[in-house]
Structure 1
Amino acid sequence: MSAVRSLRKLSKAALLGATPRGSLPDAIEHVAKVHRAHHPGADLRPLRRAYVLAESSHRGQMRKSGEPYITHPLAVTLLLAQLGAETTTLTASLLHDTVEDTDVTLDQVREEFGEEVSYLVDGVTKLEKVDYGTAAEPETFRKMLVAAGNDVRVMSIKLADRLHNMRTLGVMRPEKQARIAKVTRDVLIPLAERLGVQALKSELEDLVFAILHPEEHAATRELIREHVGRPDPLTGIATEVRRMLREAGIVAQVLIRPRHVVSVHRLRLKRGELGACDFGRLLILVGEDADCYAVLGELHTCFTPVISEFKDFIAAPKFNLYQSLHTAIADTDGRVAEVLVRTHRMHRVAEAGVVALGDPHATASSDGGAAEGAETAPPAGAGGAAGSAGSEAAPGERADPTRPGWLSRLLEWQSHAPDSNTFWAELRDELAQDREITVYCAVPGPESTGGGALPLPAGATCVDAAYARLGEAGHRCIGARVNGRLTSLTTPLRDGDALQLFLEPGSGNPSGPSPEWLDHVRTPAARIAIRQWQAAHAQPAADRPGEPGRLGRPGQTGQPRRSRGKRSRATGCPAPSGEAAVSAGAAAAPSVPSAPSAPEEPAADSPFPGASGATAAENTPVVPGHPGTPVRLARCCTPVPTDSVTGFPVRGGAVTVHRDTCQSVARMVSAGRTALAVRWEQGAVGCRVTLWAESFSRPHLLADLTEIIAAQGAAVVSAEVEPPREQRVRHTYTLQLPDAAGLPALMRAMQQVPGVYDVTRAVRQAAAG
């Protein structure tokens, strides 16, 4: 009823005669009074000029309710003024329907009021159905969201516009009411939540609830009426809290904040029976952030806290700028009250969201709108949650909320939506995700992006992160490591996860996304990109070649079909089709057969019969004082020159050499075996070493690895590729190096090959004994 009375007052004022030049028309005097309360120094001249133009251009137009049309832009402007919007937003709000519904042009608005006002008006101007047909509504929203990407005030005006229209929706036919209410539920209310404009969101929810669920709405309203007719126990608890804080010397305002209708309905669904304290919450407002925690300490000391209800949204703000401490306390009678603790500044932002932040383009030191918004800077800690990824405010500026993470994602994927229906469906799905997480995503290699913060909707997977960070290059993602552990690309991410993505090489055509990725992705950007890839690369199933597999593509691997299920030795099999030969030296330098070793000794390889042997030109181990003693390198740890080594005599008079760090050394010493000193003698040929390369399965990996090995000056003596396990592959390379000093550089180069996530010296488990 209050909304109807306000509308009638505005109608009456709008029909009054002209006012003296320079003074405010009666119709906007109330708007100006509310505006001055938030911005005492505001220049009201643009508001007067905007009202005069709007009133004259809408003159003669009537709303379906029978009121003069000018009452609508007046009511929308009053809503925004109550939320603390600055003058530019209010000016645009008064004019927001002039270009759409009158003869006023956008050029006229720009000439009279400037570029900013013109931009805001254009952003909320609907597209014509005569031009767009059924696509007019989704394309209008697309246009509005794109405009909001540069100036989020566009969205503020649209939300206030929709709220006033919902308040007066009763004059519409029931089917039209339901259609508008559903769009409001699916699009406008989630947008209000994301922008933190709780004051608009709560009323929109109640109005939609009344239209789409009239019986539940009526029942909930009846519950509230019954509660209002009884004494409220929150009143007594609030009195106790005020006394407690006063005694603690904390200056605070303690209020009882009633729940709105939808909030009561949701709580009833969650808890079943509602208690007397469930129809509202205590709201405690203080001056500084530190006071919030002081209040919390007093509450938890003097009352019994319900620990499961505690949440700290001050240290970790919500993605929509919201900050508060949430807790619940029980008094001596066992009555439980929910409590919100926040500063006055946090409260303004919690109610008005981005509207309270003023002009996103102004600095605190500039004139005009910036001065009006100087006291409405975002709460401490909110910049990271709302600002552009990777951007920081310069000295004297506040963090810019114009491009929060969800809006950046939306602006990115909408540009790739092929048609209006796809955009409309994906928009609703995107807005249905009501929580957001932040992961720290790194991409090694040429596409390296460091470990920057990446905002994603809750439930997003590694695939979502790949497309969010890399765009279409996400097609080349073949693996991921989360918090240091290898994981499937379809693994859901959690807030704060450290993510590392692995890509196949950029040269050539990527093998493309797995079809099953569509079952796991949560972001429209990923879905649209995957579907477009599938459409572009569709071919009959009977004609598809045995393409190499990818992580998350069961039943396929990165190896040719003929090599599956058994080891493929590069020295014993022809090179796979499409792969480079392992090495020219692979056939010329086959593996040297191992000499028999003692039963209790780990197997040994690479015999060296002393300085006079045939391979004395290599970097060889020798046993001082025992010239001519055959020396073998243990296969369990494959020592190379510069390694600290120890030898153990074995049957036949030979000595097996282990790295000092090998587990076999400690085991044999403890068993009483004799340890011999061993040193390396530098030769002219180099050394031999065995390396393990762990990788994700992908095409051409073997060729890429051997090419890097050759580029480092090493020769491949032999190579083995084990059958893939969980889409991961182990390669074993025995390599001849010209100098052991080049081993670290070789291992680093191998690990930089896309898809390779680890390169280590081969270590075999010693037999127990």
Structure 2
Amino acid sequence: MNAQATTSIPSTPDSPEHILFTQLSALLSEYLEPPQLKQVQQAYQFGEQHHLGQFRKSGEAYICHPLAVAISLAKMRMDVHGIMAAILHDVIEDTDASKQDIIELFGDDVAELVDGVTKLTQLNSITKAEAQAENVRKMCLAMTKDLRVIMVKLADRLHNMKTLGVMRPDKKFRIAKETLDIYTPIANRLGMNKIRHQLESLCFEAMYPMRHRILKEAIKKARGHRKEIIETINNSIRNRLEQAEVVCEVHGREKHLYSIYNKMHLKKLSFSDIFDVYAFRIHCEDVDTCYRILGIVHNLFNPIPGKFKDYIALPKANGYQSLHTVLIGPYGVPIEIQIRTHQMHRMSESGIAAHWLYKSENGENTNSKTRAAEWVHDLLEIQKTAGNSLDFIESLKIDLFPQEIFVFTPQGNIIKLPRKASIVDFAYAVHTDIGNSCVSARINKRLVPLQSQLDNGVTVEVITASWARPNPLWLNYVITTKARTGIRSYLKHFKQQEAINLGRRLLEKELSDLGKHVDDITEEMQAQLLTALKYTTMDNLLSDIGLGNKMPFLVAKQLNQEDIHAQIKLNDNETRKESPLIIKGTEGMIVTLAKCCRPIPGDPIIGYFNPGKGIVVHNHECHNTPDGRKRQTDWLEVEWCPEASGDYPAEIRIELENRRGTLATIASTISQMDSNIENVYIADQDARVSVDLVTLTVKDRKHLANIMRQLKKLPIVLKITRTKA
């Protein structure tokens, strides 16, 4: 690489830039080869030249920021391309350098990393929230290709948070809130707890400076009183482990400031309740020793029931592994103990960053890498099904490290789900096709409805059916991103396909009325029509016809013209031969039966185009139809298919004697007539008479007439009519 930058390392050895670059070079020389160090120096020269004359609000030269980011990554033993990308991460966004310049000078790998971190500057977004969402979406998609993108971004955000002091309070709050909402959960999800804790503490200080200061002072005061108890507990644990000849390290662990605040805030606890818990970590060589230590400390101090968690056998979603237990120590104080191997401890601190930090130790970070790879694969699924950037961000927030439960398939496989997950969440976690076709389930061999919430350790068997499809109501209780996006994707595709099918039928009917057959339409005529109407594909046009956004008669007439580009207008006095559209009433979301008049098979009906929703079918006698008939292009003649089958809602108005047991008699009679009551509404009632509106399911008009005839025979029924509007 022959970088054409002319600026060299700053001439003044005491300048902040020179000090930072010297510090970076010292860190890099510990693990990079001399040729790689030269590449980093060339990247620095290029960055310094392009940022020349730019200063941060704190007053220091802008190049100090990229250098600080590179130093953070060098401490994680990031590879040479990652370090170069950190130094250059702002040049595309803030200088006249282009991505092509970086490709030519430093190669595709570095250029892609820099581009992944770069914000989108040309955004025609309506709101700042949409712009922010689009930038996060771009970063996450770049992360799915290369995890180093998020490493650079987290280091960048960490340094920005450390230098927030000069910002206005409102801007501080906004940046800290964004960091807490998006970046700290991502760091957590990737197992990078060290960076997460630093970010959380800095966000807490920026958002609530007074609370941060008071809590910090309280901890400083309380720390002195705790020393003696900590030493007593520490010595007791060490002595017992030495007696058992267990080689390990015992460390007192102080809770992080934000963690203490969060527990106080969420659990409504006082500071003393939180700070009276003493925490220790024990690190050893292997997993067997972890469980042996657990037995030893349980013999030393009594464990608190229900407070033991085995994250070694069942790791967290980010790969975190450890044994957690809470004991009652001397003086009755609670003691939290975490027991893990040295390798697990390194992984808990660095997460996916351990891939670079401990590269020499084979296989040690496979677990974290695998889980990170699974998560970024899930991000791609979210991206494919999200409607826009705000939907993507909402899905991302839901997905970022919820509390987990573990449930089992009938074959004994473990499925990890967030707490309060439902059967539907489980079905989609197993496979999307199972989620799309589930109808019910068994929990521990007991039949349960789909909305049932799952508990830890249960065995779930999902019952599927080939005819089943997702229900929009599932969105009210599913909580996993995979289930939510799976349901939305299916319904969106299903509605689109329904609209296309209905649009094709409507167009075929209109062409038939004009004496033309759909087979007579050549590809050339289709292409001309699409150009004239400004559509890209025939499916898009048919979908708009089906959804009522385009009138089928006008499209058919335009297809019938010799000049396909002629503008077609339907005059008020123009008549057309019209054959009715045949419907079954079970077409799905594109053909709906109006609730005002509840048409059933056998009724004379009429259809209205409802733009964006398809056709709404009304009874001819419905009081809403006269308004529709005035607008000739909004309605079409429809007829019931002779083979229409199924259960359709109908409403009847019954006046009956107000005495005990009348409703039970009505319900029994309706049930005997092979019908079901969906709803009963008491419209009016006095001491003698009750007027009830009953919604029941019927096969057709004849079935309803038979039910009404049977009800009329009852002595308690004074009058019965069908409501049609």
1:150–1:402: 8 Å Cα contact kept in structure 2? no
Deviation string for 1:325-356 (max 9, x for gaps)?
22233444333322222222111111111111
**1:307 offset after TM fit, Å?**
4.1
Q: Measure the CA separation in 2 of the matches of 1:202 and 1:32.
A: 27
Q: Measure the CA separation in 1 of the matches of 2:677 and 2:459.
A: 24
Q: Measure the CA separation in 2 of the matches of 1:68 and 1:426.
A: 38
Q: Measure the CA separation in 1 of the matches of 2:486 and 2:371.
A: 27
- The letter for the 2-side match of 1:54 is G
Deviation string for 1:575-599 (max 9, x for gaps)?
x96679xxxxxxxxxxxxxxxxxxx
Q: Does 1:521 align with 2:490?
A: no
TM-score (normalised: structure 1): 0.58
Give the structure, 1 or 2, with the largest relative contact order (CA under 8 Å, sep 6 or more): 1
Change (3 A) 1:280 1:67: farther
1:148–1:154: 8 Å Cα contact kept in structure 2? yes
Gaps of 5+ in 1: 1-12, 359-368, 387-398, 443-449, 548-575, 581-696, 698-721, 727-769
Q: Does 1:411 align with 2:380?
A: yes
1:14–1:70: 8 Å Cα contact kept in structure 2? no
1:277–1:337: 8 Å Cα contact kept in structure 2? no
**1:430 offset after TM fit, Å?**
3.4
**Which residue is 1:317 aligned to?**
315
Q: Does 1:491 align with 2:491?
A: no
Q: Does 1:346 align with 2:303?
A: no
**1:545 offset after TM fit, Å?**
7.5
Change (3 A) 1:83 1:237: farther
Q: Measure the CA separation in 2 of the matches of 1:521 and 1:544.
A: 31
Q: Measure the CA separation in 2 of the matches of 1:171 and 1:294.
A: 52
Deviation string for 1:340-399 (max 9, x for gaps)?
2222211111111111123xxxxxxxxxx9xx61327446xx73xx5xxxxxxxxxxxx5
Change (3 A) 1:327 1:453: closer
**Which residue is 2:148 aligned to?**
153
Question: Higher helix fraction: Structure 1 or Structure 2?
Answer: 2
**1:35 offset after TM fit, Å?**
5.0
Q: Percent identity?
A: 36
1:14–1:71: 8 Å Cα contact kept in structure 2? no
**Which residue is 1:258 aligned to?**
254
Q: Measure the CA separation in 1 of the matches of 2:194 and 2:117.
A: 20
2:51–2:95: 8 Å Cα contact kept in structure 1? yes
**Which residue is 1:119 aligned to?**
112
Q: Measure the CA separation in 2 of the matches of 1:268 and 1:441.
A: 37
Deviation string for 1:241-273 (max 9, x for gaps)?
223323332222222222121122234454435
Equivalences, count: 504
SS at match of 1:404: helix
**Which residue is 2:139 aligned to?**
144
Q: Does 1:92 align with 2:85?
A: yes
**Which residue is 1:623 aligned to?**
none
**Which residue is 2:370 aligned to?**
400
**1:456 offset after TM fit, Å?**
3.8
Q: Does 1:435 align with 2:424?
A: no
**Which residue is 2:702 aligned to?**
none
Gaps of 5+ in 2: 1-7, 497-588, 602-641, 648-673, 679-725
SS at match of 1:464: helix
Change (3 A) 1:543 1:516: farther
2:395–2:481: 8 Å Cα contact kept in structure 1? yes
Change (3 A) 1:464 1:227: same
Q: Measure the CA separation in 2 of the matches of 1:471 and 1:303.
A: 47
Which of 374, 389, 408 does residue 360 from structure 2 map onto? 374
Change (3 A) 1:63 1:314: same
**1:97 offset after TM fit, Å?**
1.6
2:88–2:114: 8 Å Cα contact kept in structure 1? yes
Equivalent residues in 2 for 1:280-295 (5 A)? 281-295=279-293
2:424–2:450: 8 Å Cα contact kept in structure 1? yes
Deviation string for 1:132-162 (max 9, x for gaps)?
4633211111111112223222222212211
1:149–1:402: 8 Å Cα contact kept in structure 2? no
TM-score (normalised: structure 2): 0.61
**Which residue is 1:195 aligned to?**
190
SS at match of 1:403: helix
2:278–2:334: 8 Å Cα contact kept in structure 1? no
**Which residue is 2:535 aligned to?**
none
Change (3 A) 1:36 1:347: farther
Q: Does 1:421 align with 2:416?
A: no
Change (3 A) 1:117 1:236: farther
Q: Measure the CA separation in 1 of the matches of 2:193 and 2:324.
A: 16
Q: Measure the CA separation in 1 of the matches of 2:293 and 2:464.
A: 50
Q: Measure the CA separation in 2 of the matches of 1:229 and 1:331.
A: 19
Deviation string for 1:633-684 (max 9, x for gaps)?
xxxxxxxxxxxxxxxxxxxxxxxxxxxxxxxxxxxxxxxxxxxxxxxxxxxx
Q: Does 1:29 align with 2:22?
A: yes
**Which residue is 2:630 aligned to?**
none
**1:27 offset after TM fit, Å?**
3.0
1:80–1:90: 8 Å Cα contact kept in structure 2? yes
Q: Measure the CA separation in 1 of the matches of 2:355 and 2:96.
A: 33
- The letter for the 2-side match of 1:435 is Q
Deviation string for 1:193-224 (max 9, x for gaps)?
11111111112112222233333323211211
- The letter for the 1-side match of 2:332 is G
1:129–1:136: 8 Å Cα contact kept in structure 2? no
Deviation string for 1:89-125 (max 9, x for gaps)?
3332222222222233323333444443333222211
Change (3 A) 1:315 1:523: closer
Deviation string for 1:390-413 (max 9, x for gaps)?
xxxxxxxxx5344234x4333212
Q: Does 1:461 align with 2:422?
A: yes
**1:318 offset after TM fit, Å?**
0.9
Change (3 A) 1:309 1:42: farther
2:277–2:334: 8 Å Cα contact kept in structure 1? no
**Which residue is 1:481 aligned to?**
442
**1:62 offset after TM fit, Å?**
0.9
Q: Measure the CA separation in 2 of the matches of 1:438 and 1:43.
A: 46
1:73–1:94: 8 Å Cα contact kept in structure 2? yes
SS at match of 1:400: helix
Change (3 A) 1:40 1:161: same
- The letter for the 2-side match of 1:258 is E
SS at match of 2:297: helix
C-alpha RMSD of matched pairs (Å): 4.0
Q: Does 1:305 align with 2:303?
A: yes
- The letter for the 1-side match of 2:403 is R
Higher deviation after alignment, 318-327 or 328-337? 328-337
Change (3 A) 1:14 1:210: farther
**1:87 offset after TM fit, Å?**
3.7
Change (3 A) 1:441 1:243: closer
- The letter for the 2-side match of 1:49 is Q
Change (3 A) 1:284 1:473: closer
SS at match of 2:119: coil
2:193–2:348: 8 Å Cα contact kept in structure 1? yes
Q: Measure the CA separation in 2 of the matches of 1:296 and 1:517.
A: 43
SS at match of 1:262: helix
**1:36 offset after TM fit, Å?**
6.0
1:256–1:282: 8 Å Cα contact kept in structure 2? yes
Q: Measure the CA separation in 1 of the matches of 2:415 and 2:112.
A: 29
**1:440 offset after TM fit, Å?**
5.7
**Which residue is 2:661 aligned to?**
none
**1:227 offset after TM fit, Å?**
1.8
**Which residue is 1:632 aligned to?**
none
Equivalent residues in 2 for 1:74-93 (5 A)? 74-93=67-86
Q: Measure the CA separation in 2 of the matches of 1:36 and 1:543.
A: 81
- The letter for the 2-side match of 1:93 is A
Equivalent residues in 2 for 1:661-680 (5 A)? none
Higher deviation after alignment, 68-77 or 469-478? 469-478
**Which residue is 1:234 aligned to?**
230
